[in-house]
Amino acid sequence: MNKATGHYVPDLASLQMLGELNYRRIGRLMRGQEDQDAWHFSIHSVGDQESRLRLTLGPQSRFTTQVVLEFGPELQTPLLFTTQLSMTIRLYHDVGIAEITDGHRQYRGTYPYPNDDMFHRDEKFRLNQQLADLLELCLKHGHRLGNHDFQFA
């Protein structure tokens, strides 16, 4: 927050660092199987919870690759809402940065608050931090599954 104007000012250095780290995390998850078009992981976490994380390759060009990340529980849970998360990630190979997009547009660095979409002022940073958290969870507690062993509830 800029104290003089009262406006939120995004921390571009932190956002760039987060993007660089996420690019490396995704690379570590794909390592050794770069020729695949999907990578599947089982994640065991606290409370004997089993989750699944899937990275699926999307459109590619010379400098960018789109990847869809899906994360959800292994078993069906009796909830009234969906427990599966899906996000589209664009990898920028020329600069080594990953960022979340919604598949056809990028999120802005800052949003007015309040707004009709109910985005946080720092929505882009928060989404990319959530990506970092999921990737770290998978790197620390996940193990790779064969393509035939994977399914969401």
The secondary structure of 110-153, three-state, reads: CCCCCCCCCCCCCHHHHHHHHHHHHHHHHHHHEEEECHHHCCCC
Region for 32 from its dihedrals, namely left if φ exceeds 0, alpha if ψ lies in -120 to 50, beta otherwise: left
- Highest mean pLDDT, choosing among 45-49, 72-76, 84-88, 133-137: 133-137
Whole-number average pLDDT of the chain: 86
Extract the tokens encoding 140: 């620390």
pLDDT for 99 equals 95
Query: Tens digits of per-residue pLDDT, 65-121?
Result: 999 999 988 766 566 666 788 999 999 999 999 999 986 767 887 888 888 888 888
pTM for the whole thing? 0.83
pLDDT for 120 equals 84
* Residue among 71, 82, 19 nearest 45 (CA): 71
The mean pLDDT value for 42-68 works out to 90
Who wins on pLDDT, 140 or 108? 140
pLDDT for 153 equals 43
